[in-house]
Amino acid sequence: MSRTILIYGQSGVGKTTSCRNLDPAHTFYIDCDGKGLSWQGWRKQYNKDNQNYIRTDLVDTAASNSVPNILNIVATGEKYSHIDTIIVDGITTLMVTDEFRRRREKGFDKYQDLAACIFTLCKKAVSYRDDLTVVFIGHVDIDRDINGTELFAQVKTSGQKLKKIVLESLFTTVLYAKSDGDQFYFETRAGNSTAKSPIGALPPVIENDIAAVINLLKAYEEE
């Protein structure tokens, strides 16, 4: 059983940057946003020659370079047995892009297909080898009152089916990325959000460093 983590938050709060301290020699980055990474020197760390980086926003498994297929290949292929962390950045882009591609289709079948694909992608991720961590990154959907006060935050999804599924329910660790302008951090416990983590594994607030989070989770699991 692999370890799966969901990170979500607004743009600019350090979701991608939280991956900066991962070891590129043991990390595979699936860049669904296609915008590149957000720290100095990343192109030398993640590229085609290093065979640890790909840009794709396809969800249709009929395409060889779709995210489900790439994830499965890296997670199960002997060629990638040295990889211990896979980043899927970002899952919200997959949903929105697929909606646009199929915008001329009538009816609700496209939303059913998308919900099934995203659900299967996240559900299957936990079934891979024990030494693997799969990190999904997405955007946030925030409910506010009439004064703009944040009432509740959850991962942004497309279509009602995924809202009913509650994507966060497929993960034991859900990190809400936030920033006060100076500090960038993760909330790890539910307050007015769907953030959660195994009891006692993480402090309520932690620096946005996914490498440190993974190390803490590993230590917790081995106790």
CA–CA separation, 93 vs 150, rounded Å? 23
In the numeric block, the tokens 């497929």 are attached to 170
Quickly count: other Cβ atoms within 10 Å of residue 201's Cβ.
17
CATH, residue 189:
3.40.50
Specify the number of domains making up the chain: 1
How does pLDDT run along the chain (223 residues), one tens digit per residue? 999 999 999 999 999 999 999 999 999 999 999 999 999 999 999 999 999 999 999 988 888 999 999 999 999 999 999 999 999 998 988 888 767 666 666 666 666 666 778 888 999 999 999 999 999 999 998 888 888 888 889 888 876 656 677 889 999 999 999 999 889 999 999 889 999 999 999 999 999 999 999 999 999 998 7
User: Which class for 39: exposed (0-12), middle (13-18), buried (19 or more C-beta within 10 A)?
Assistant: exposed
Quickly count: other Cβ atoms within 10 Å of residue 9's Cβ.
26
- Write out the residue range of the structural domain in which residue 52 sits: 3-222
CA separation, residue 92 to residues 9, 76, 139, 208, 217 (Å)? 11, 24, 6, 19, 25
6, 167 contact by CB (below 8 A): yes
State the pTM of this model.
0.93
CA–CA separation, 25 vs 22, rounded Å? 9
